[in-house]
Amino acid sequence: MTSKQALGSELQPWPQDLRSPESLEQAVLRLRFSLMLAVNRPERAQLLPTWRYVDDPLGFGRASSWNDPRQGPSFMPLQLTDAETRSWQEWYNQLSTVHVNRIELALSRVLRAIAERRESSDVLIDSVIAWENLFGTKEGEPTFRVTTCLAILLEDTFQARVDLRKRLAAIYSLRSKVVHGSGNLKEHDYPKCQEALEIAIRAIRALTTARTDILELADGSARSQALLLDAGSPRPEAPAHQVDPDPNVVRVESGVEGSSGEPPSTPASD
């Protein structure tokens, strides 16, 4: 037996209670998004990371980072009620299922649009990227497929779906003009940017509650196909949340600031 083999035989498995940086990022993402879903107030509730410190016993030095929340849109401190705290726990548990990993890009883009973006054009772009993460595909006509799936997911009747899809198509077209430099946002376009964000939030809420059967599918292509083929079926109702806090919820050792922030209504001037 070589010395390398002897050394390897003495090594212990990686401790299960030491979470990887990736799992910490996932926990923070879900904590932030679940708070936003749990608090039903005129201004969206935000959990803003401010600092992080990681002491890796197998690494060199110590990793730390800071973030200035004042760089994002305006926000105000927020004190949660007991009911909101319970709802936050329930939503965190709801978002902690393995299938939510498949739409993490949508979650992160929505949070960026709410907490970081000052310009309405950036809110629009992030929101539509979230749409595409949910139902995007290279098959067929992407705009029609994504907007139709969102309309089917969020509305019950044929006419309501037709009307919503028409509005979503207009938002999609506006995003394309902004991205490709063929047009700038006008004042009357600003509400469309916020509607795009609201649609992304509603879609994620629906997929993680009433339509977990769709969420469980592998990717946006499979999810969109399933919705389109099942369009004639009645939309199932979301199950009621159970107030049963999980005692094993992960504790993230990071500095955060709770706040409620108003969504941007006008782009910042150059």
Residue 246 lies in a domain: no
Residue 267 lies in a domain: no
Residue 110 lies in a domain: yes
Q: Distance between CA 139 and CA 142 in Å, rounded?
A: 7
Q: Divide the 270 residues of the chain into consecutive groups of 10 and give the mean pLDDT of each group.
A: 52 61 84 94 83 71 68 75 96 93 95 89 95 88 93 96 96 92 85 96 96 94 92 58 40 42 43
* pLDDT (0 to 100) of residue 181: 83
* pLDDT (0 to 100) of residue 151: 97
Residue 52 lies in a domain: yes
Burial code of 22-56, b = ≥16 C-beta within 10 A, e = fewer? Answer: eebebbbbbbbbbbbbbbeeeebbbbbbeebeeee
* pLDDT (0 to 100) of residue 30: 95
Q: Enter the pTM of the model.
A: 0.76
Q: Distance between CA 172 and CA 240 in Å, rounded?
A: 33
* pLDDT (0 to 100) of residue 242: 42
* pLDDT (0 to 100) of residue 9: 55
* pLDDT (0 to 100) of residue 173: 93
How many domains does the chain fold into?
1
* pLDDT (0 to 100) of residue 257: 46
Q: Distance between CA 203 and CA 163 in Å, rounded?
A: 16
- Token pair recorded at residue 170: 């207009």
* pLDDT (0 to 100) of residue 23: 81
DSSP string, 224-254: HHHHHHTTTSPPPPPPPPP----TT-----E
Residue 148 lies in a domain: yes
Residue 35 lies in a domain: yes
Residue 268 lies in a domain: no
Residue 4 lies in a domain: no
- Token pair recorded at residue 69: 């929340």
- Count, residues in the chain: 270
Domain of 154?
22-239+253-261
